[in-house]
Chain A
Amino acid sequence: MKIIKKKNNLMANLKPPVNENDHHTGNDKAKITLVEYGDYQCSHCAHAHPLLKELLEEKGDYFKFVFRNFPLKEAHPLAMLSALAAEAAGKQHKFWEMHDMLYENQAQLTRDSFIEFAESLDLDLEKFAADLQSETISSKVENDFESGIRSGVNGTPSFFINDKKLNIYDGTYESLKSAVTDYVQE
């Protein structure tokens, strides 16, 4: 597990706050928002993915979950393309389906995977291919990355709970769950 701690007095805030450009799931009306900055080729993110799914299943009423892209494209050759693929699927209302598929198949990911995934999600392939190369999609991903930098993201995954950087996540389900449930008790 990577060390993603920062001193409390330097605790970064989420910039910009969650807005209509973000993909969200869980309870849209909840008072708690959990934001993840992630990279689809990052193994630590793939580790966190089933934990988040479990948390959404168990405590999905308690919080809204938002995902923002933070692809390290020099370190991970398919990270950018993966982020574009999820966003392009989002144009056909299948962002989270593609998101899950990317993380669940991370180990086998190749350049040909994206079209296969799009097919299995019954996407309009022509539109998907066009969106993959569109300016709108690439600037969405780049804006996510820049917002991460400004928010103090120093590695992936980085989490924010109600706009504050979460420092207690240590790779376990319990740490993620307590982030959400502790907030409920406050």
Chain B
Amino acid sequence: MLLQKGTAAPDFELYATPDQKLKLSELKGKRVILAFYPADWSPVCGDQIALYNEMLKFFQKHNAQMVGISVDSKWCHMAYEDNRNIHFPLLADFEPKGEVSQQYGAYNQEGGYSQRALFVIDESGIIQWSYLSPEGINPGADGILEALEELENNKKEK
């Protein structure tokens, strides 16, 4: 099952480039948006990743880092990032295959790929919003923005 609001986000360390790994806990102090998606190059995700790529300044306004995750290899991600001018890290959940996606409850066992799942994680590493999109449907970004705004509002009320 998809990890829900209030759960501590499991830490992980995955390749972001051919020679650099990114560890989730290194991002503490920032909000993190995790976007699990089935594959580089496939048309629907293409639109989804392209959409997030245009929105980085909106995420920055909320002190949030966008991170994509799929089971594609680091080399595949590199080619895809170059081809599409992607300006945020795409992590390779490649070996053991899909391990992180499984921990987050966002893995399609039968097909062997990450499901289209979104998580908004707060500054202290707690999941504050999660959403599993139906297969083949680009979830857009309105849900992410609303979750980030809610975090902002809760902070003000405190």
Contacts and interface: CB of A to CB of B under 8 A. Distances in A.
A90 interface: no
A152 B54 CA distance: 14
Nearest to B134: A7
A58 to B, nearest CB: 30
B51 A155 contact: yes
B58 to A, nearest CB: 7
Contact of A155 (B47, B84, B86, B136): B47
B68 interface: no
Contacts of A5: 137
Interface in A1-59: 2-7, 12
A12 B84 contact: no
Contacts of B8: none
B44 interface: yes
A130 interface: no
A49 to B, nearest CB: 19
Interface residues of B, number: 23
Contact of B55 (A3, A4, A12, A149): A149
Given A4-B138, A153-B140, A72 B54 contact: yes
B48 A154 contact: yes
- Sorting the interface of chain A by its residue count into under 10, 10 to 19, 20 to 34 or 35 or more gives 20 to 34
A13 to B, nearest CB: 10
Contacts of B44: 2-3
A149 B141 contact: yes
A73 interface: yes
A3 B142 contact: no
Interface string B123-150: 0000000000010111111100100000
A73 B55 CA distance: 11
A73 B54 CA distance: 7
A76 to B, nearest CB: 9
A110 to B, nearest CB: 19
A7 B139 CA distance: 10
B25 interface: no
B96 interface: no
B53 A149 contact: no
Contact of B51 (A6, A150, A154): A154
- Max count, chain A CB within 10 A of own CB: residue among B85, B136, B137: B137
Contacts of B85: 74-75
Interface in B30-66: 43-44, 47-48, 50-51, 53-55, 58
A124 B139 CA distance: 43
B95 to A, nearest CB: 29
24 contacts: A2-B44, A3-B44, A3-B138, A6-B137, A7-B134, A12-B142, A72-B54, A74-B50, A74-B54, A74-B85, A75-B50, A75-B54, A145-B54, A149-B140, A149-B141, A149-B142, A150-B142, A152-B142, A154-B51, A154-B138, A154-B139, A155-B47, A155-B51, A155-B138
Closest A-B pairs by Cβ, 9 of them: A154-B140, A154-B138, A152-B142, A155-B47, A74-B85, A152-B140, A75-B50, A74-B53, A149-B141
